[in-house]
Amino acid sequence: RLRHRARAIDVADFERLVLQEFPQVHRVKCLPHSDLWSSRAPGSVLIVVVPRLDNPHARDPRRPALSLADRTSIESFVRSRCNWLTQTPVEVVNATFEQLKVEVDVVLRGGDAGWYESVLAEELQAFFAPWLATTDADIHFGASIHRSEILHFVEQRDYVDWVTKLRVLHFADDRVV
């Protein structure tokens, strides 16, 4: 099957063209027949972007986001590469990162409880957002995490003897889910 080098026809074309043209984009996910409000929008294209993770000037490194100017330039670029016979509605949005609050009570094997509390907090943050700890980490779209995985992670710490209580609060759109 032959592809046109300068046209976006299917999902892979959209993603490839955006990654080639914009070096500040780390990951891109194209959702066909979707818009910002619905997953049933025939003919529309929703492009979800994640910026490069090594940006030292990022506002909030836990929630990497592209600027409005970058997203607008991506939109205009993609529109110029779509089929000229159709008017494909294209929207470019930042990825949504959901916030979790983990409350855990543990029994330690010994040592300074205050110091181990900060170590556990840092390790949990690196567990949920590995791109903060290393530049080799990747962001996966649609990733999910289960309470049992969090419990297993905490129990595997050398300084934790056992977990007495684990509570996970999930925030979406600034409300508890």
Q: Which parts of the chain are beta strand (E)? A: 25-32, 45-51, 90-94, 99-108, 160-172, 175-176
Give 111-156 pLDDT, tens digit per residue. 788 899 999 999 999 898 888 777 667 777 888 889 999 999 999 9
Q: What is the predicted pLDDT for the residue at 173?
A: 62
Report DSSP state, residue 70: H
Q: What is the predicted pLDDT for the residue at 163?
A: 94
Asked whether 95 and 50 are in contact (CB, 8 A), the reply is: yes
Does the predicted TM-score (pTM) go above 0.85?
A: no
